[in-house]
Amino acid sequence: MSLGTRLLFFAFLFLNSLSAQTDTLDFHVRSGNLTLFDGTQIPHLVYTEAEVIPRNSDVVIREQGEEILFRLINNDDEIHGIQIPGILTIPTVMPADTAEVLVNLLQTGIFRYFDPVDSFRNSYLGLSGIFHVKATTDEGTYNYWDLREHQPLWNNELQINNSVDPSAYAPEYFQINGNSSPEIDLDPLAKIIGNVGQEIKLVIVNNGQSIHSIHFHGYHATIVESSKNSSHIGRYKDTFPVYPSEYMLLSFNPDKPGLYPVHDHNLVALTGGGLYHAGMFTTIEIEP
pLDDT higher than 80, residue 94: yes
Q: What percent of the chain has pLDDT over 70?
A: 93
Q: In what order do the strands lie in the sheet with 200-206?
A: 173-176, 141-150, 200-206, 247-252, 221-226, 236-237
So what's the pLDDT on residue 41? 97
Whether 214 contacts 262, CB under 8 Å: yes
Annotation: CATH topology of 140-288: Immunoglobulin-like (2.60.40)
Q: Is the pLDDT of residue 6 over 80?
A: no
Mean pLDDT lowest for which of 5-14, 21-30, 161-170, 225-234? 5-14
Residue 245, phi-psi category: left (phi > 0), alpha (psi -120 to 50), beta (remainder): left
Write out the residue limits of the CATH 2.60.40.420 domain(s) in the chain: 19-139, 140-288
Fold of 19-139: Immunoglobulin-like (2.60.40)
Given a contact cutoff of 8 angstroms between Cβ atoms, the answer to whether 227 and 201 are in contact is: no
Distance CA 84, CA 226 (A): 17
DSSP 158: H
With 90 as the cut, is the pLDDT of residue 13 above it?
no
pLDDT, tens digit, for every residue of 102-134? 999 999 999 999 999 999 999 999 999 999 999
Output the DSSP codes for 202-245. EEEEE-SSS-EEEEESS--EEEEEESS-GGGTT-EESEEEE-TT
* Structure confidence at residue 21 as a pLDDT band (50, 70, 90): confident
